Structure 1
């Protein structure tokens, strides 16, 4: 076999970059937990000064800063031996309420990888692994990764993109947030629309417990009811709006869930379906975002679906055609793409 050395070097360059990011994941999470990014944002510092600010050990902080600078996550000034963050670095690394929060993705990734032996064995057996069986950082990191996108888009653009929904929510509507996880989306909606009432449901009892506490902390517990229930078994009827945020593709039987959503909606109700950004064909997903989602799906989404009855395993890159087919088979007659971001596709589905 003849190896093209230029192509080999190009591939090894990609590998080195990937390996560096993999090794850096733990350091990013450390920076998140210890507040190192927040302490550095807007306040350049030498290692000893940053350590003093954060109550940490200066030798560890020095090594951490050097690694962060090598990866381009912070800037280094050799003339003063100090480190700083640009506005863009600080936005992505130090603000969990901004439009993107990079550390949350690494919390999710590290939690996910703890299940590697179990997933490797599932490759041999074809078995599944339920969402509830993963390390708790999967649930926490997932919310930290997706919540900033919801903050940036849910109220400002996604709800207004739906026909008549914003007016209903302002006047007072009944809303079902299905597969709500830790309740980030439910709480955001409840904060914005105080006249409406919300039911958040998830089959994972620990997530629901956390969601209830966070709703109470946010002062909206009086207008949200959280319940432990599957997507095909959540309670109530006569909903003006039902929503599934980044979870329909995880379900073993999304068709049963879709049918339940349809019967729970009012005749003029709306189902807001938010899914990961994906093309219908594999070739259209062979890009950096698709790479994230395919690999996360291998470890999380497909195993969860295969752990449940139903026969589906859509995966995180299912694409619009697959989601449309599920809703059509469930009896919905109207389906359109209402909005999109680099990470999400947003669909409006009606009976």
Structure 2
């Protein structure tokens, strides 16, 4: 005889007759919070792509009014606004919707050292890479840098602009003793992994007595950098397609800048050694990397840790592994960076924790 009694065992419980375990309930709440965050970001991304977010930033109103400003469909706008109301971004009052007080400032330039909408587009890009990254995670092959391009490079370029304007000179460069004065007097400077030239051109414009060259292996990025330098009329900027691990320079530079670049390399130890050889005695490498100690229990407690590790898994680790590297990842941290710098030939290293959530290393030969 078949027992047709329904199974009422709680999904998170102790068995028949027992309530859910507190640990299981806490685990379920944690998971639901993360699901909610994922869907909130997805909905914001849809609003950005459809124009509804920009329309909402222009002012509140009914779903029909906001949809009309965006050129969007009324019903979709209504559901989008309902989702953001549930997420806590939007306030609803008798059919009218508006951003909660202070929320609009987060979506506008100025408050944060980055454009929030660029992060929404990054999320979209990474979502499209899940299949390739998952395969690479199983097979250990990594995902080549070219697979992320050109979208990733363009997004990175847009993301870095406000960050550099706010922190590059006043914080990153100023943290290295005497570096501002040397740049003002005139020295030879290289930007390793210059990308689209945001940092390179800002430095060249700020220190016209110094001579700058940007190195990168991405021709598309170098084209953007060349256009940016030409647009600003910078005659003290040069650009070269050159592998950082094979600079083949000997004592010809005074300063090397490497922002968010070393951890992605296929041979980071060789890159650092090549930079050390390229510097004249007393020369300095200004290496800017995400703020991390390299100790998981310490770094995991930081508010930005989840974003850092997730981004690193989806991009930084994979790019390095695909190039035959160790896959340092963005969160490699101070405990691993300092020994590598010293092994590469840097005799003195100082560090500075930037309020931009970066760690700035000034390494001297």
TM-score (norm 2): 0.84
- Matched with 2:315 is 300
Whether 1:49 and 2:65 are equivalent positions in the alignment is yes
- Matched with 2:83 is 67
Quote the Cα distance in structure 2 between the aligned partners of 1:224 and 1:62.
Answer: 51
CA-to-partner distance for each residue in 1:168-213, whole Å, 9 max, x for gaps?
2223332211112222222322333333332222222222223333
Quote the Cα distance in structure 2 between the aligned partners of 1:144 and 1:12.
Answer: 37
- Matched with 1:224 is 237
Displacement of 1:242:
0.8
- Aligned to 1:343, which of 326, 351, 357? 357
Structure 1 vs Structure 2 CA RMSD: 2.7
Contact 2:105 2:111 in 1 (8 A): no
CA-to-partner distance for each residue in 1:249-304, whole Å, 9 max, x for gaps?
11121111111111222222211111111122111122342221222222211111
Q: Go from structure 1 to structure 2 and tell me whether the alpha carbon gap of 1:10 and 1:53 turns closer, same or farther (over 3 Å shift).
A: same
SS at match of 2:258: strand
> How many pairs does the alignment contain?
347
Q: Go from structure 1 to structure 2 and tell me whether the alpha carbon gap of 1:45 and 1:202 turns closer, same or farther (over 3 Å shift).
A: farther
Quote the Cα distance in structure 2 between the aligned partners of 1:100 and 1:9.
Answer: 36
Contact 1:45 1:84 in 2 (8 A): no
Which consecutive unaligned segments of at least 5 residues does structure 2 have? 1-12
SS at match of 1:180: coil
SS at match of 2:235: helix
Q: Go from structure 1 to structure 2 and tell me whether the alpha carbon gap of 1:65 and 1:251 turns closer, same or farther (over 3 Å shift).
A: same
- Matched with 1:158 is 172
SS at match of 2:84: helix
Q: Go from structure 1 to structure 2 and tell me whether the alpha carbon gap of 1:215 and 1:90 turns closer, same or farther (over 3 Å shift).
A: farther
Displacement of 1:38:
4.5
Q: Go from structure 1 to structure 2 and tell me whether the alpha carbon gap of 1:212 and 1:25 turns closer, same or farther (over 3 Å shift).
A: farther
Whether 1:10 and 2:26 are equivalent positions in the alignment is yes
- Aligned to 2:290, which of 266, 276, 286? 276
- Matched with 1:327 is 341
Displacement of 1:96:
7.4
Q: Go from structure 1 to structure 2 and tell me whether the alpha carbon gap of 1:23 and 1:223 turns closer, same or farther (over 3 Å shift).
A: farther
Q: Go from structure 1 to structure 2 and tell me whether the alpha carbon gap of 1:98 and 1:283 turns closer, same or farther (over 3 Å shift).
A: closer
Whether 1:251 and 2:268 are equivalent positions in the alignment is no
Displacement of 1:342:
5.5
Whether 1:314 and 2:348 are equivalent positions in the alignment is no
Larger Rg: 2
Quote the Cα distance in structure 2 between the aligned partners of 1:85 and 1:184.
Answer: 34
Whether 1:81 and 2:101 are equivalent positions in the alignment is no
- Matched with 1:140 is 154
Quote the Cα distance in structure 2 between the aligned partners of 1:62 and 1:136.
Answer: 34
Q: Go from structure 1 to structure 2 and tell me whether the alpha carbon gap of 1:21 and 1:278 turns closer, same or farther (over 3 Å shift).
A: same
Which consecutive unaligned segments of at least 5 residues does structure 1 have? none
